[in-house]
Structure 1
Amino acid sequence: MRKRNVFYSLFFFLHLLQQASSDVHSISGYFLGSQGLNLPDYMERITVDDVGMYYYDSTMNAEVPCPEWLNTTEGQEHWKDINLISLDNRHRFASSLQSAILQFNLTGSSSNVNVYQGVGRCSLYPDGTLKAVLTHAFNGEDFLSFDIDTKTFIASVPQAVIYKRQREENPVFLEHLTFFYKKTCFERLKILLQHAPAVNMKKVPEVRLFKRTKAGSKVLTCHVTGFYPRDVQVEWVGAGLQSVEEEMVDVLPNGDGTYQTRRSVIRPEENPEEHKYSCVVHHSSVAGNVTKTWEEHSGLAAWIWISLICFFLAIAGTGLLFRRLCKTKDVGI
């Protein structure tokens, strides 16, 4: 069970599921120290609105070069600071990991899987509100958090108390950390929002419709992918449609900076050929919406055309390859 939680936690670190709304701008830092995984001992990634800005890990021997688009003196100073903080974080997370392993009495074989994570985020809301958080987790469970107003760490579990005290022994460190989450990170966010070209890109969603049978019912699925920014609305329109209650409707990253999601409905069984069902997608990259319509007879028409093509190819005697194509049952529409 513990290993499953560790890998579940690692999955979300690698895929970075953050932004709830495109109206909120955030700079986020993800820090991970690990043991027993085929990964670098330490990894760090910084994103702005889910777009990767910076990556560093313990196998890298040189500083991460400043991108060409960050060509202001202030921006380059921030980038230099990011590199310096990464080196400090690397050593700090090695200590954090070993402290947690010791307090949870998990010392032993080096093949044991243990993961120590940190997430720091500064968010700027449309009304000008600023919000910052810093939390730590060990093996997928809450471990420690930082209260910016009181400049103290809060232990989520008894095993974190010793490490909390160690962190609070250094008042200079606490002042620097507080200043960073009250001011520096917001300045950095504004600079990157202004200069990073990828933050302001928009990509139009691709919409595909599928049908499958589930527990005797016909289920229509609208798969929406390749869009950016993350905020999207997807809905089915048509008579008699029922939602699939157990379906997860999260927006998930594709790995290339774009996102995907899906919505499924149960189609009525009676006279489906008399109805049209449409998936309507609203996204900021499109004026209006993207609409795809499922028509039951469109599937039949596709099968007719396939059968006719196969028939004429067979008559022409064009070879085994085409006959195999005609025998194939798994043809997508």
Structure 2
Amino acid sequence: MKYLDYLRIVVWFCYCVGNFYTASTGVPNFPEFVAVGLVDDVQTEYYDSNTQRAVPKQDWMEKATADEAGYWDSQTQISQSNEQIFKVRIDTLKKRFNQTGGVHIVQVMYGCEWDDETGDTNGFSQHGYDGEDFVVFDLRTKTWIAPTPQAVITKHKWDRDTGQNEYLYHYFTQECIDWLKKYVGYGRSTLLRTDLPSVSLLQKTPSSPVTCHASGFYPNKIKLFWTRDGEEVHEDVDHGEILHNHDGTFQKSVDLDLSSVKAEDWGRYSCVFQLYGVMEDIVTKLDPKVIKTNWVKPSDLIIPIVAAVIAVLLIGLSCSSLCLLCSLFVHRFVRTVLVW
């Protein structure tokens, strides 16, 4: 069995639950505290400091009350408590970094992963400040890692709290995993589905890279790449990030720069989409006839303009109006050539 085929089988059985906290100051028209829960990149719950209430974002998350009657009240209380804690943390970090006003953001990401094929589990807790890592929990050693000098004080303080670190180890290896299994059970029909994407080839101008764009796939465990004669291409390739669609599916693009490729060699290239859990690939051969573009050759603009001039003459526009129309066309044509 090929390694990639093995991954398609194994990765499919991996699940992850994550919680994301964002506390901010100085950001206009944005809640000072936001808490979001995700299961396999599907948003499951939400809380912010304006609404003051944790709510489910998926219908199947309503089932959580069957295992814990006051689940949503409990989640609300936890988030309200964290909101106050994070307000204090922002003030502490501003002093630590010798800051006063301005925009500042504290972010925390924590959760766990479970592979129901192997039984392997993992937990993570990462804290960041103003877009940089601040402290990270090492599950193996039950200690904290400080990537920046300003975090060393926090590391030593949290390392001394061995009781809290033992609790975190228990939470990430047992309690979090138990809840993850419940969440997967609640949303099995959603989380275990597979949606194949539509794949398109796009190009702005003849000299631009060709973009292979896949949209509408689920889950986000995919690989999108270019090949030449069946072998993956790494040079002159630019991979985009996986992005969310409004309907819960995902999209991704990968660009291929063909500036140094002869036109007769284009047929040797293909874009390949692979969805883990699905054995059949979607292969789109690089063919100029199927590339979508909004670029129009300047010569192609002449015919519509000539037709417009003839139409103007037929309806009896004055000579001055006709000159105005022509001058506008020339002006727009020149701007198109220079700006585009």
Q: TM-score, normalised by structure 1?
A: 0.71
Aligned residue in 1 for 2:110? 120
Matched, 1:208 2:170: no
Instruction: Encode CA deviations 1:59-97: one digit per residue, 9 max, x unaligned.
Output: 113342696534363255555543332222212211221
Aligned match for 2:123, one of 120, 123, 132: 132
| Identity of matched residues, % | 26
Distance 2:135 2:195 in 1: 38
Aligned pairs for 1:1-333 (under 5 A) are 21-38=11-28, 39-64=30-55, 69=60, 70-71=62-63, 73-74=66-67, 76=69, 79-106=72-99, 108-109=100-101, 112-125=102-115, 126-148=117-139, 151-164=142-155, 173-174=164-165, 176-196=167-187, 197-212=189-204, 219-238=209-228, 244-245=235-236, 247-267=238-258, 270-272=262-264, 275=267, 277-284=269-276, 288-296=280-288
Query: Aligned with 1:99: secondary structure?
Result: helix
Instruction: Encode CA deviations 1:273-325: one digit per residue, 9 max, x unaligned.
Output: 9946432322257662323334335679xx9xx99x979x98x97999xxxxx
Q: TM-score, normalised by structure 2?
A: 0.70
Deviates more, 1:80-89 or 1:93-102: 80-89
RMSD of Structure 2 on Structure 1 (CA): 4.3
Deviates more, 1:123-132 or 1:288-297: 288-297
**What residue identity is the alignment partner of 2:27?**
L
Distance 2:282 2:224 in 1: 10
How far did 1:235 drift? 3.5
Kept in 2: contact 1:237–1:277 (CA 8 A): yes
How far did 1:188 drift? 0.8
Distance 1:83 1:210 in 2: 46
Instruction: Encode CA deviations 1:160-211: one digit per residue, 9 max, x unaligned.
Output: 3444466567676555444322321111100001112432232221111123
Structure with a larger share of its residues in helix: 2
Distance 1:66 1:239 in 2: 45
- Gapped runs of 5+ residues in structure 1? 1-20, 321-326
For these two proteins, the number of residue pairs brought into alignment is 300
Kept in 1: contact 2:23–2:105 (CA 8 A): yes
Distance 2:266 2:98 in 1: 66
Distance 2:215 2:192 in 1: 18
- Gapped runs of 5+ residues in structure 2? 1-10, 316-331
Query: Aligned with 2:137: secondary structure?
Result: strand
Instruction: Encode CA deviations 1:98-120: one digit per residue, 9 max, x unaligned.
Output: 111111111x33xx111111110
Aligned residue in 1 for 2:326? none
Q: Using a 3 Å threshold, how does the CA distance of structure 1 residues 249 and 36 change in structure 2: closer, same or farther?
A: same
Distance 2:149 2:165 in 1: 21
